[in-house]
Amino acid sequence: MHDFQSLKSLIEAEINALQLEGNPKELYEPIRYSLSLNAKRVRPILTLAAAELFGGTLSKATKPALGMEVFHNFTLLHDDIMDNAPIRRSNPTVHARWGTNIAILSGDAMFVKACQLISEAESFCLKAVLDLFYATALEVCEGQQLDMNFEKISSIGIPDYIEMIRLKTAVLLAACLKAGALMSAASKNDADEIYAFGENMGLAFQLRDDLLDVYGESKFGKRVGGDILSNKKTFMLLKAMEVADKSQKEKLDFWMSPVPHQEEDKIQAVTEIFNTLNIKGFTENEIDFYYQKGLKNLHNISVGIERKGVLLNFTESLLQREI
C-alpha cells in the first residue's frame, strides 16, 4: 500500500502523461492549463487509496481516478464562468484568460476526456462505475444550481445548505472512494460504507472550508472574508441568523444590505458578531459531528484496521488545516 503523498506523486506523473495535444489548440490548451495548476488531487487520491484498501492494484484504477480529477476540474472551469470568478488557484480562470466561449467549449471537451478515462475501468465493473459516475455528475450539477438559486432566496435553512454542499462537494468525494471500491470488487456493504464515509468527510471538509474563509489565513489566492463580502449563506451565517438576538440580527441585516460598505469594516463587523455568538464553536461541533459519523463508516468496513491508516491520515490532513 502507498501513503497518500506517493499516490499524489503518481497522479501528478499520470496527469503530465495525459495525451492532451490535440487540435485545434484553442480547445486543448485551456484543458492542459486547468490540469497543470497546483492542486491537492484529493479525488484521485481517494480513488486509488480506496482501490488499495480493498486489495486492488493501482494500475487498474489509475485511469478512472484521473477521470475523477479531470471531471472535478471541468466543474471548476464551468462554475468559474457562472460565478464570474477571475482567479482560480492564484491564476487567471480559463474564461478570464481565453473568453467565455472557449471556456464553455473546452470545459465540454474536458468532460468528454473525463468520461473516456472513467470508461477505462475493467469490464467486470464498468457499468457499475459508469452508473455511479453519471449519477454523481448529475448531482454535482444539481448542487451548483442550488448554490446559484440560494443567492436569490432569503429563506434558506441550515438543512438546505447541508443538502447543497452534499450535492456540490460531498457526493463526488464519496463517489471517488466508491469507484475505487468497485474496481477492487469490494462487497456491496463495504462500497456503501466507504461512500457514506466520503459523504460525511466531504461535509466536514466543506464546513471546515467555510470556517477557514472567516478564521483562516489567506492562502491559495483565496481572500479571507470572501464569503462574508458576498453574503454567502454558509452554515456560519445561517447559524448566526438562527441564534442572534434582535439587535444582532439587525446588525447582520445591515451589513448584508446592498448599502455600500467598506470591505474591511464589513468583514470585521460580521466576524465580531460571529465571535460573540460563538459561531466558530458551533461550526467545529458540526464538523466533528460529520467527522465522527465518517469514522464510524470507516470502522464498519470489513478490512483490517492496519489497512485503513492511509485513508485516515489523508482525511486528517485535509481536516486539520491550521486555523
Interface residues toward a copy of itself, by CB under 8 A: 22-24, 26-27, 78, 81-82, 100-102, 104-109, 111-113, 115-116, 119, 123, 126-127, 130-131, 134-135, 137-138, 141-142, 144-146, 148-149
Per the DSSP assignment, residues forming a β-bridge with 15 are none
| Residue 189 Cβ vs a copy of itself, minimum distance, rounded to whole Å | 24
Q: What is the dihedral of CA 86, 91, 93, 97, to 10 degrees?
A: 100
The nearest distance, CB 141 to a copy of itself, in angstroms, is 4
* Residue nearer to a copy of itself on the CB measure, 232 or 308: 232
Q: Least distance from C-beta 289 to a copy of itself, angstroms? A: 26
Question: Which of residues 5 and 116 has its CB atom nearest to a copy of itself in the complex?
Answer: 116
Helix (H) or strand (E) run with residue 304 in it: none
Instruction: Give the nearest distance from C-beta 194 to a copy of itself in angstroms.
Output: 23
Phi, then psi, of 99 in degrees rounded to 5: 95, 160
| Shortest Å distance, C-beta 142 to a copy of itself | 6
Helix (H, G, I), strand (E, B) or coil at 291: helix
CB nearer a copy of itself, residue 13 or residue 148? 148
Complex with a copy of itself: residue 99 or 309, whichever CB lies closer: 99
CB nearer to a copy of itself: give 120 or 284: 120
Give the separation between CA 203 and CA 168, rounded to whole angstroms: 10
Which residue has 466520503 as its cell numbers? 198
What cell numbers appear for 174 in the block?
464519496
Shortest spacing between CB 28 and a copy of itself, in angstroms: 9
Name which of 19 and 59 has its Cβ closer to a copy of itself: 19
Query: Toward a copy of itself, which CB reaches closer, 85 or 243?
Result: 85
Q: Are 163 and 146 in contact (CB under 8 A)?
A: yes
Q: What is the DSSP string of 137-194?
A: HHHHHHHHHHHHHHHH-S---HHHHHHHHIIIIIHHHHHHHHHHHHHTT--HHHHHHH
Q: How far is the CB of 105 from a copy of itself (least distance, A)?
A: 6
Cα–Cα separations (whole angstroms), residue 185 to 58, 180, 231, 293:
13, 9, 45, 24
Question: What residues have CB less than 8 Å from 200, skipping those under 6 apart?
Answer: 170, 290, 291, 293, 294, 297
